């Protein structure tokens, strides 16, 4: 770890992380290098956020985000507080703005998992402390940082690699797409008609890819898409909040299951990625999910290390 890389992340102090494009490519590179160092040298950071408090508001379910953020704060010498919206006045109609102003008087940072992206923007505007996105309907930036750390660990870099996302053009796909092209990695998204990435997000990724030289491709043909892939990534076909569409989605996405036949079309050594939770037999076969190519549990662990790098960079006083 070069001291210079740590220094570069220091420009992030006090900043919110609502989406990856809020940060520069250099910031993200530095966060990945810092996360890598934190993973290897955990003991060096045990007092990094001594006495600091992170409020963790959840308006949706979570296993990884909840536990990894709380563990991250404890490992950095601080404390994470789980705040379920069901138990807060937020769940009885207190505004997100008032909640943000009140929490700013008690805490040093807020992580929130919520529905609309405009809701986290309103919180960040009202709060005087850093706000971190733990998933909205539009983005999942902390997941993408853990994914990029996993790519870095697996292949040693980004340029010249091909990431293929197969399935729903959702929050995970949006952050992965933007993060991949920011790092100069080629990115292909294959989805059925009607389930593509949002056009606004595709335009943003296109603009970034022109600056970084990454190749960006959209196609409805999953078998064509995965040719020469170094990573195949998928996520659930029905995200939280879309449960009433699940039958329709099962049918639309059926040709998009990541299975051994699909994996065989990719580059030798291609890795399988998934943000989890997964549904074996739907978006991924059990053989691929639990097979040799799968790095899904490495990704899950990397949520902890990537988020420690973010917390250290935005909260460290």
Instruction: List, as residue ranges, the binding site for carbamoyl phosphate.
Output: 62-65, 89, 113, 140-143, 275-276, 303
State the DSSP H helix or E strand holding residue 166, giving kind and residue range, or none if neither. strand 162-166
Q: Which of 127, 161, 153, 150 is CA-nearest to residue 57?
A: 127
| Nearer residue to ligand CP within complex by CB, 59 or 186 | 59
Active site residue 174: no
Q: Which of 190, 186, 130, 128 is CA-nearest to residue 158?
A: 186
Active site residue 75: no
- 46, 75 contact by CB (below 8 A): yes
Does residue 133 interact with ligand CP by CB under 6 A? no
Six token digits for residue 282: 């739907």
Q: Indicate which residue of 66, 140, 249, 274 is catalytic.
A: 140
What lies within 8 Å, CB to CB, of 248 at 6+ separation is none
Active site residue 92: no
Residue 260: CB minimum distance to ligand NVA, A:
24
Q: 109-113 and 53-58 as β-strands: parallel, antiparallel, unpaired?
A: parallel
Tell me the binding residues for L-ornithine. Answer: 171, 235, 239-240
Does residue 239 interact with ligand NVA by CB under 6 A? yes
Residue 284: CB minimum distance to ligand NVA, A:
14
Among 6, 88, 202, 276, binds ligand CP (CB under 6 A): 276
178-193 as b/e, with b when 16 or more CB fall inside 10 Å? bbbbbbbbbbbbbbbe
Active site residue 115: no
- Interaction pattern, residues 65-104, with ligand CP; x per rule: CB under 6 A: x---------------------------------------
Within 41-170, where are the H helices?
64-75, 96-104, 117-126, 141-155
Among 99, 143, 307, 313, binds ligand CP (CB under 6 A): 143
Catalytic annotation, residues: 113, 140, 143, 235, 275, 303
Binding region for ligand NVA (CB under 6 A): 135, 170-172, 235-236, 239-240, 275
């Amino acid at each position: 770890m070069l001291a210079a890389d740590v220094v570069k992340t220091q420009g992030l102090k006090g900043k919110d992380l609502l989406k990856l494009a809020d940060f520069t490519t250099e910031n993200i590179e530095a966060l990945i290098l810092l996360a890598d160092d934190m993973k290897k040298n955990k003991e060096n950071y045990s007092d990094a956020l001594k006495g600091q408090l992170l409020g963790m508001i959840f308006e949706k379910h979570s296993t990884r985000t909840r536990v990894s953020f709380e563990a991250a704060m404890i490992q950095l010498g601080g404390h994470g507080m789980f705040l379920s919206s069901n138990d807060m006045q937020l769940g009885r109609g207190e505004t997100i703005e008032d909640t943000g102003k009140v929490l700013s008087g008690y805490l040093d940072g807020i992580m929130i998992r919520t529905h609309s992206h405009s809701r986290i923007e309103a919180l960040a505007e009202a709060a005087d402390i850093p706000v971190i996105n733990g998933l909205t309907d539009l983005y999942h930036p902390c997941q993408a940082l853990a994914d990029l750390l996993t790519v870095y660990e697996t292949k040693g870099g980004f340029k010249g690699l091909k990431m293929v996302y197969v399935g729903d053009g959702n929050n995970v796909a949006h952050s992965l797409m933007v993060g991949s092209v920011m790092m100069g990695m080629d990115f292909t998204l294959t989805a059925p008609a009607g389930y593509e990435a949002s056009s606004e997000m595709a335009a943003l990724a296109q603009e970034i890819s022109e600056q970084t030289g990454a190749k960006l491709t959209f196609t409805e043909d999953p078998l064509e898409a995965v040719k020469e892939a170094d990573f195949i990534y998928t996520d659930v076909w029905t995200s939280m909040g879309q449960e009433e569409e699940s039958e329709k989605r099962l049918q639309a996405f059926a040709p998009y299951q990541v299975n051994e036949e699909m994996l065989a079309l990719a580059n030798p050594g291609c890795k399988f990625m998934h943000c989890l939770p997964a549904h074996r037999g739907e978006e991924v076969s059990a053989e691929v999910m639990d097979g040799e190519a799968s790095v899904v549990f490495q990704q899950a662990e990397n949520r902890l290390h990537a988020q420690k790098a973010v917390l250290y960079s935005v909260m460290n006083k």
